[in-house]
A = this chain, B = another copy of it.
Amino acid sequence: MKQAKGKVLSNREVKPGYFLMSVKCPPIAKAAKPGQFMTIRCGNSTEPLLRRPFGFHRVEGGSFRILYEVLGKGTKKLSSAKAGEILDILGPMGKGFTVPEGKKDIVIIAGGIGVAPLAFLAEELLKDKKKDVSVIIGAKDGKSLLCREHFEGLGIKTLVATDDGSCGKKCFATDLLGRSIAGKKPSGTVVYACGPSPMLKAAANAAKKLKVEAYGSFEEYIACGVGACLGCAIKTKSGYKLICKDGPVFKLEEMIW
């Protein structure tokens, strides 16, 4: 893990309320693995005070992109960063996604902005030609659906679910898991999910029913990001674990909801 200066290459709104920022930062980009994250200091005043965590959305050489939703003061400040601006970045942090031995079929389930780290995961997985990757994207509505073209451009079979049915099926992303793995061997299949907490819970239940191994990327407030403050604890069957050190990716069946 390193603290490094990153230079904003571009930063634009890709969907209403969602921004894509490209940052040149070789020391951190070169070390990043899918599912890991970084923290960025948003501005240099005491408001917001703490750094904000973001996943690696895509990594190319010495640069990475983050895809982020403007929610509060930190992301708002970030959204006003202009090309050329220098950011203070700490990363990569956490353990990221690991692909268990013997898993051939991979299903990625993304809810809302949860898609951000999964694009990087999909790209990495595709490097192994023997693997079969498919994606389910869920969103509030068609307007806020993210990354569909990206996955399809990579040749990945992509199912879509929206809350209002304005795009794809009118259901939750997790409801499509059965359809997505139909015909696949449960024991050779693994699910990766990222999204709001209720979605992760639904994914855990669906995976359990279908008897497939499943991992999810979790969120908590992050302060230090290095395992020092013990602030990002999350409850698991083997006690409290730290999002920033032991996670953010955990086996779903390990979690206590």
Chain A residues proximal to chain B, CB less than 8 Å: 45-47, 73
Contact = CB atoms under 8 A, between A and B. Distances in A.
Contacts of A73: 45
A95 B45 CA distance: 34
The copy count of this chain in the complex is 2
Nearest to A77: B45
Contacts of A45: 45, 47, 73
A41 B45 CA distance: 16
Contacts of A47: 45-47
Nearest to A82: B80
Nearest to A48: B45
A46 B73 CA distance: 11
A73 B73 CA distance: 16
Leading 4 A-B pairs by shortest Cβ distance: A47-B47, A45-B47, A46-B47, A45-B73
Contacts of A46: 47
A219 B47 CA distance: 27
A73 B47 CA distance: 11
A78 to B, nearest CB: 14
A100 to B, nearest CB: 45
5 contacts: A45-B45, A45-B47, A45-B73, A46-B47, A47-B47
A81 to B, nearest CB: 11
A73 B46 CA distance: 11
A46 B45 CA distance: 10
A243 B46 CA distance: 29
Most B C-beta atoms less than 10 A away, residue of A45, A46, A73: A45
A47 B46 CA distance: 7
A46 B49 CA distance: 11
Which among A46, A47, A73 has the greatest number of chain B C-beta atoms within 10 A? Answer: A47
A45 B46 CA distance: 10
A49 to B, nearest CB: 9
Nearest to A49: B47
Nearest to A45: B47
A46 B47 CA distance: 7
